Chain A
Amino acid sequence: MIKLLKIELKKILPYKIFWILFGLYFFFLCCGILLAEFMINNMVDDMNRHMPIPFPHVTIYYFPDVWQNLAFFASIRFVLIFPAIIIMILITNEFTFKTIRQNIINGMSKAEFMTSKLQIIFIMALLITIVLAIGSFIIGVSHSGFTDMAIFSKGIPFILGFFVSILAFLIYAFFLAFMLRNTGLSIAIFTLYSLIIEPIISGFLRSPFIFKNKIYNYLPINTAISVTEYPAIPILKKVMGFELQRGVTFTACLIPILYSAIMIGIVYWAMSKKDL
């Protein structure tokens, strides 16, 4: 296992495009998180112009809500698409450069090859989650100070929930990259599906006249990103009418994990059948 990881890091670390995309991702992530409060309050100001009793400004960086809020903003599909694109590039490159053939010829098994990619996905998801956790902690402390250990108790489920979100999202990318084997095509289809097609389908399914239950929540991308479904911002609850999420449920995590497991199974099966 360590050997596979060592090989994978040797392939990735000197790759400039990887660092550029990763840098861009962190830049947008940080911008999004740091500007979120400012932007929401802008919205509030806009609304207040027509309100007899103005809404108060929101604060999203205070313990214990900061965990949930940052996990929510970090798992927006527009943000998660960045690491997914990186994963798709890393996998489809192997097909473009035909290095997967060379790896197999040199004595790697197909299963080992796929495992090495899953390892990188796992590590990348873990790394981003840790950065998010540390970031949330620092932002939380700087806004509300370190009070007691209780601040972690609400945070840990949301951080773990975010890990499930990003892991599932990256495994979807892994699935598409292995099935299509083409960089441009897999990025285009993944982006198109996750940003446009699924929101349209989900909008259709959301229509209360057709479906009474929350079936839209079971679409693969939706289910992955809605582990943290809503931010902890009471005013949005009033304006947009959704319930306040109290924690991360086990079922919310289970469905994306199930999707991921099925996709990994399909990839292993297809790779054992298909020629390289």
Chain B
Amino acid sequence: MFSFFTGNFLQDIVTNFRTSRLKPTNKRLHNCNLLNTILSIQSLSKRYGKIQAVNDLSFEVLQGQVFGLLGPNGSGKTTTLSIILDLVKSNKGSFSWFDSPPSKESRKRIGSVIESPNFFPYLTAYRNLQVVADIRDQDYDDIERVLKLTGLYERRNSKFKTYSFGMKQRLAIASALLGNPEVLILDEPTNGLDPQGIAQVRELIIKVAGLGMTIILASHLLDEVQKICTHVSVLNKGKKLFSGEVSKVLAISDSFELSSTDPDMLQKAISTHPLFQSFSETGLLLQVYFKGEVQPNEINSFLYQQGVVLTHLTERKRSLEQHFLELLEEKI
């Protein structure tokens, strides 16, 4: 459908990062272990008429985190990001950037992609980025790098209106990366991209995060947050449901499919496992659920000690979407 991200885009990203990114960011990497507070939000609320878009929301983002705001459409993610970028006024609550009250100077240290890419259609990509650089008090030296990084350098002198959707999205990312901001805010960065584009944007985010940039990512895709983020807040109807490390909040209790030459013996033996929860029989296979995290090799050796030899052992992950829906339902 959309044809963006030319073939060697990814290689470009990798090589460009290696060559040009490492020098200026070294200092920031060393500071990483200090874990400064980047963003702190205290009981933020925003109401649009009858709709409570954001409801008493609080969280903190520390330096170096890849922070995910996860929630279904209309859960208040974009409103929250709009508030912290001074586009929208909150009804209640407060927020601070870099431990100081929000100002235009703090916004200059943040690169953002919010909703659709917003540029002047009649200006070229290069000129659009010049406007951004001027606002941020930067010189134009970095424009070439971010254009190459996002694979738009060849089209730098084309007008923005001639770009495909994917290219527009990439220009938005380029403008967010301009001048190596300390924080990157991305609102549904893979929305509307084709699978290849999605993979490359995610790759880019992980790469940028690896260099010490703090990232705040809003997404309705659980899978995306799980792949990219280190920390997450799960939102629904403007309220925070969960917050914490991705591995803990989104921990998935797995099930295992087992079979043995002696099914009765297997059932008895597995029931004695300390974390055993329940099982169900489907044909020759035994579906076993555990209360906590259990490794396959652990099960194998446990059953072997009980005198059961397995003929089949498969780890079954529950679908992420299913898990997400369960998370939402539990709290309602």
The stretch among A7-15, A119-127, A182-190, A248-256 that forms the contact with chain B is A7-15
Determine if A6 and B116 form an interchain contact, defined as CB atoms under 8 angstroms apart. no
Determine if B134 and A6 form an interchain contact, defined as CB atoms under 8 angstroms apart. yes
- Distance in angstroms from B208 CB to nearest chain A CB is 18
Determine if B89 and A105 form an interchain contact, defined as CB atoms under 8 angstroms apart. no
Which residue of the partner chain B has the closest CB to A15? B122
In the docked arrangement, what's the CA distance between A101 and B119, Å?
A: 10
The stretch among A59-67, A106-114, A132-140 that forms the contact with chain B is A106-114
In the docked arrangement, what's the CA distance between A98 and B82, Å?
A: 13
Tally of chain A residues near chain B (CB < 8 A)? 25
- Distance in angstroms from A269 CB to nearest chain B CB is 13
Determine if A99 and B136 form an interchain contact, defined as CB atoms under 8 angstroms apart. no
Verify if B214 is at the interface (C-beta below 8 Å from A): no
In the docked arrangement, what's the CA distance between A224 and B141, Å?
A: 46
- Distance in angstroms from B49 CB to nearest chain A CB is 13
The stretch among B124-132, B193-201, B262-270 that forms the contact with chain A is B124-132
In the docked arrangement, what's the CA distance between A76 and B86, Å?
A: 42
Contact partner, A107, options B87, B121, B135, Cβ 8 Å: B135
The stretch among B106-114, B143-151, B293-301 that forms the contact with chain A is B106-114
Name B's interface SS: loop
Which residue of the partner chain B has the closest CB to A275? B88
Determine if A10 and B107 form an interchain contact, defined as CB atoms under 8 angstroms apart. no
Name A's interface SS: helix
Verify if B104 is at the interface (C-beta below 8 Å from A): yes
Q: What chain A residues lie within 8 Å of B116 (beta carbons)?
A: 98
Q: What chain A residues lie within 8 Å of B120 (beta carbons)?
A: 11, 15, 93, 97, 99
Determine if A105 and B107 form an interchain contact, defined as CB atoms under 8 angstroms apart. yes
Which residues of chain A from 74 to 130 have a CB within 8 Å of any chain B CB? 93, 97-99, 101-109, 112
Category for how many chain B residues contact A: 20 to 34
In the docked arrangement, what's the CA distance between A192 and B138, Å?
A: 44
Contact partner, B88, options A102, A107, A276, Cβ 8 Å: A276
Q: What chain A residues lie within 8 Å of B130 (beta carbons)?
A: 10
- Distance in angstroms from A22 CB to nearest chain B CB is 15
Q: What chain B residues lie within 8 Å of A7 (beta carbons)?
A: 131, 134-135
Verify if A16 is at the interface (C-beta below 8 Å from B): yes
- Distance in angstroms from A158 CB to nearest chain B CB is 37
Which residue of the partner chain A has the closest CB to B108? A107
Contact partner, A112, options B82, B89, B104, Cβ 8 Å: B104
Sample 20 A-B pairs with CB under 8 A, ordered by A number: A3-B134, A7-B134, A10-B123, A10-B127, A10-B130, A10-B131, A11-B120, A98-B118, A99-B119, A101-B114, A101-B118, A104-B86, A105-B112, A106-B108, A107-B105, A107-B107, A107-B135, A108-B135, A109-B104, A276-B87
What residues make up the interface of A, taking CB atoms closer than 8 Å to B?
3, 6-7, 10-11, 14-16, 93, 97-99, 101-109, 112, 273, 275-276
What residues make up the interface of B, taking CB atoms closer than 8 Å to A?
82, 85-89, 104-105, 107-108, 110, 112, 114, 116, 118-123, 127, 130-132, 134-137, 175
19 additional contacts, CB 8 Å, given A106-B135, A273-B89? A3-B137, A7-B134, A7-B135, A10-B123, A10-B127, A10-B134, A11-B120, A97-B119, A99-B118, A101-B114, A102-B118, A104-B86, A106-B136, A107-B104, A107-B107, A107-B135, A107-B137, A112-B104, A275-B89
